[in-house]
């Protein structure tokens, strides 16, 4: 039974969307993972099939009802799977959490809409709130797709030759060094000589220096938190 993402959403027609093409799409078609997008509205009980209501205490927008969402969650066989809700209030998603999620059976993911979901269902079902960054999307669907895409590329067999998606940015705490390919000259700009020298040790040294300089300049947060111990054996891409 392959890795599975179960998504609870008011817009199941958004899926698979971009997850149905390219790397994730090919892996989906070949059965390396499964996607199960379910309509939260199918769990509505009143005659208007309502899923949301105005916030208690007042304020703008609408809140996803606890009873409807709990019923949708309970209709999924997700006993031993991580249960997430995408939200800008969540803990920021990291490559480390992505790797954990990819190593497990695959998550149940609730996509919030409107002003959010009733806090009681988050508490009562133990939902882990996850953010993909400090900006606000109109709903959790694109955030869920982002999380799923990040997991799927780590699944065995999905990336082929690049199978260890761990040998790159964020697993060693550095941003990627710059890449070049033909033509040798583009608008008077040369590929750096070291890369065409054939000296693999020099290439590796240059790439590490570039990655470190870029990380220090652009991401002081990553630079400060980088794994120390210079000879710890961590290696960049060959
Ligand atoms: N829903 C809306 N904005 C979001 C974000 N930044 N991360 C996760 N889910 C969201």
Ligand 1 centroid distance, CA of 115 (Å): 11
Q: Each residue of 66-87: pLDDT tens digit?
A: 999 999 999 999 889 999 999 9
Q: Each residue of 188-209: pLDDT tens digit?
A: 999 999 999 999 999 999 999 9
Which domains, and CATH codes, for the chain? 3-161 (3.40.1280.10), 167-225 (1.10.1270.20)
Ligand 1 centroid distance, CA of 29 (Å): 28
Q: Which atom of ligand 1 is nearest to the CA of 140?
A: 1
E-strand spans in 71-157?
83-92, 108-111, 116-117, 128-131
Q: Each residue of 142-152: pLDDT tens digit?
A: 999 999 999 99
Cis peptide before 80 (omega within 30 of 0): no
Query: Binding site membership: which residues?
Result: 112, 132-137
User: Alpha-carbon distance 78 to 210, whole Å?
Assistant: 44
Please, are residues 146 and 24 in contact by the beta-carbon 8 Å criterion?
A: no
Ligand 1 centroid distance, CA of 53 (Å): 20
Tell me: ipTM over 0.90. yes
* Reduced 3-state DSSP string for 28-46: HHCCCEEEEEEEHHHHCCC
Taking the model in full, what pTM does it have? 0.93
User: Alpha-carbon distance 128 to 134, whole Å?
Assistant: 17
Taking CA atoms only, the protein residue closest to ligand 1 atom 10 is 87
């Amino acid at each position: 039974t392959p890795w599975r993402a179960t998504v609870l959403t008011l817009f199941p027609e958004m899926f698979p969307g971009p997850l149905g093409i390219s790397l994730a799409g090919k892996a989906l078609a070949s059965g390396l993972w499964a996607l199960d997008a379910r309509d939260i509205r199918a769990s509505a009980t009143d005659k208007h099939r309502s899923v949301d209501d105005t916030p208690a205490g007042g304020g703008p927008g609408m809140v996803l009802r606890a009873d409807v969402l709990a019923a949708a969650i309970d209709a999924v066989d997700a006993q031993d799977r991580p249960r997430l809700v995408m939200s800008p209030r969540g803990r920021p998603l990291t490559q480390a959490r992505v790797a954990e999620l990819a190593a497990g059976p695959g998550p149940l993911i609730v996509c919030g809409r409107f002003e959010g979901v009733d806090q009681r269902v988050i508490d009562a079902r133990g939902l882990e709130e996850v953010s993909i960054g400090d900006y606000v999307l109109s709903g959790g669907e694109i955030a869920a797709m982002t999380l799923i895409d990040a997991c799927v590329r780590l699944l065995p067999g999905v990336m082929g030759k690049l199978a260890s998606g761990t040998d790159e940015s964020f697993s060693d705490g550095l941003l990627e060094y710059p890449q070049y390919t033909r033509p040798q000259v583009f608008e008077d700009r040369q590929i750096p000589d070291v890369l065409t020298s054939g000296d693999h040790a020099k290439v590796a040294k240059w790439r590490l220096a570039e990655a470190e300089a870029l990380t220090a300049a652009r991401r002081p947060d990553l630079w400060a938190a980088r794994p120390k111990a210079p000879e710890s054996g961590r290696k960049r891409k060959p």
